[in-house]
Amino acid sequence: MGTMEQLTLQLRETAREILESKKAAAVIGWEMGTFWYSTAPAILTRPEETERLVWNEYCLNNLAKYLLDFQNTDEKVAIFARGCDYRGINRLIQDKQIDRDKVLIIGLSCPGMKDDKKARELGQNADIPLAKKCEECTYPDALAYDLWVGEPKEAAKPAKAEAKVFPEVESLEQMTADDKYENFAANYEKCLRCYACRNVCPACSCRECIFGNSSKEWSAKANNLSENMFFALTRALHVAGRCIQCGECERICPVNIPIMLLNKKIIQDIDHLFGPYDAGLDPEDKMPLGSFEFTDPEEFM
């Protein structure tokens, strides 16, 4: 705890310095939320506001998506970034949503955040487990940055993806077709279609989404299982090869749909079909579905 409190002070100082010296017009970080187990993204523009910044065990939100709000401004934006934020930022840079030059990345090393829902349930004195998305995290630190806050780290080992296997995906794969479908249907029967998953996702940056545009008649606003599945599958395939595995969609779903089960299946298949790939490590990477090899597996002959 002690170190996170000290880091909070350093975060504030760094942010204040950036805003005072006008190195960036805004700083994106975290501030306290309403409850002891909650924080919220904070987008600050005035030096005195930087006192609100915090860095604690509940800084769960991925901040990258907020860069989109600065797409049409000329000034630079500073953003605190752990591994997941960093990959989110790269996602946006690679998707040509924002220029690298416009972003001032302040790197952080992340100890893993705690599960806010569990915290609410168990209370302040309990031992709160890590958030699911943090438990599975493979890149806790920003891999490249303009500034760094915290203990200087040893040079990050060059990021190299390894073929991933997700036990929960594998166990689903063992089921019969009808059981799989029943399971999938039960998950998406609940969907409210609030689109929180889409709106929080750094890979969902279309200016116009077919699910927000009923005049295009791809999707009706009607809430029924078929439309909900259409949304789920279309989105999963749309972020295929681009999902940075931050797990935000699943974390914030108001009705707890295990959304990552779809994304993880695709990630796992990409690794095994086209070679290991972790999205958002390097904006210069070739994207699995935006590229090909002549030697790709051939099943359609």
Partner 1 sequence: MFTVQESEIRDLLNVLNKEYKVFVPAKVGDESKFVPYEDNVEFCWDRNVLLSVKDKFFPQTEPLYKFKTKRQNLEIEPLAPKDEPVLLFGVRSCDLQALNCLDQVFLTKGFVDEFYRTKREQATIVALGCNEAEDTCFCTAMGVDPQKGHGADIQAHWLQGKFALEALTDKGQKIIDTLKSYLKEENLEVPETKGFQLQPDMDGVPEKLKGMFDSDLWTEVARKCLNCGACTYICPTCHCFDMSQDVRGEEGFKYRCWDSCMFEEYTLMAGGHNPRPTKKERVRNRFLHKLCYFPERYNMLLCTGCGRCLSVCPVNLHITSIIDKVKEAN
Partner 2 sequence: MSVNEALDQKTPTENLENWQPKILVFACNWCTYAGADLTGLSRLQYPATVRILRVPCSGRVNPQFVIKAFQKGVDAVLVCGCHPGDCHYTTGNYFTRRRFLLMRRLMEYIGMEPERLQASWVSAAEAQKFQQLITEVTEQIRALGPNRKLRDVQWEQWNN
Q: Contact residues for partner 2 (CB under 8 A)?
A: 169, 172-173, 177-184, 210, 218, 222, 224, 226-227, 229-230, 233-234, 236-238, 240, 262, 265-266, 269-270, 273-274, 288-290, 292, 294, 296-301
Shortest approach of partner 1 to residue 243 CB, angstroms? Answer: 17
Q: What angle do CA 293, 299, 301 make, to 5 degrees?
A: 100
> With respect to partner 1, which residue has the nearer C-beta, 14 or 39?
39
Given 165, 175, 255, 273, the residue binding partner 1 (CB under 8 A): 255
Site for partner 1 in 189-248 (CB under 8 A): 190, 192-196, 198-200, 212-214, 220-224, 248
| Binding-site partner at residue 262 among partner 1, partner 2, none, CB < 5 to 8 Å by type | partner 2
Cβ contacts of residue 107 below 8 Å, gap of 6+?
81, 86, 141, 142, 144, 145, 146, 147, 148, 149
> With respect to partner 1, which residue has the nearer C-beta, 95 or 282?
95
The secondary structure of the chain in percent helix, strand, coil, rounded to multiples of 5, reads: 40, 10, 50
> With respect to partner 2, which residue has the nearer C-beta, 4 or 289?
289
Contact 15, 33 (CB under 8 A): no
| Binding-site partner at residue 194 among partner 2, partner 1, none, CB < 5 to 8 Å by type | partner 1
Stretch that binds partner 1, among 35-43, 95-103, 131-139, 269-277 (CB under 8 A): 35-43
> With respect to partner 1, which residue has the nearer C-beta, 187 or 263?
187
Across the strands, what pairs with 109? 141
Cβ contacts of residue 241 below 8 Å, gap of 6+?
266, 270, 277, 279, 287, 288, 289, 290
Shortest approach of partner 2 to residue 252 CB, angstroms? Answer: 22
Any contact of residue 33 with partner 1 (CB under 8 A)? Answer: yes
| Binding-site partner at residue 34 among partner 1, partner 2, none, CB < 5 to 8 Å by type | partner 1
Question: What backbone torsions phi and psi does residue 62 show, to the nearest 5 degrees?
Answer: -80, 130
Contact 258, 183 (CB under 8 A): no
Token duo for residue 2? 């002690």
Across the strands, what pairs with 43? 28
Q: Which burial class, exposed, middle or buried, applies to 273 when counting CB atoms under 10 A from its CB (0-12, 13-18, 19+)?
A: exposed
Query: Cα dihedral angle (23, 28, 33, 39), rounded to 10 degrees?
Result: -120
Site for partner 1 in 62-91 (CB under 8 A): 65-66, 69
Stretch that binds partner 1, among 31-39, 170-178, 239-247, 266-274 (CB under 8 A): 31-39
Q: Which residues bind partner 1 (CB under 8 A)?
A: 33-35, 38-43, 61, 65-66, 69, 120, 186, 190, 192-196, 198-200, 212-214, 220-224, 248, 252, 254-256
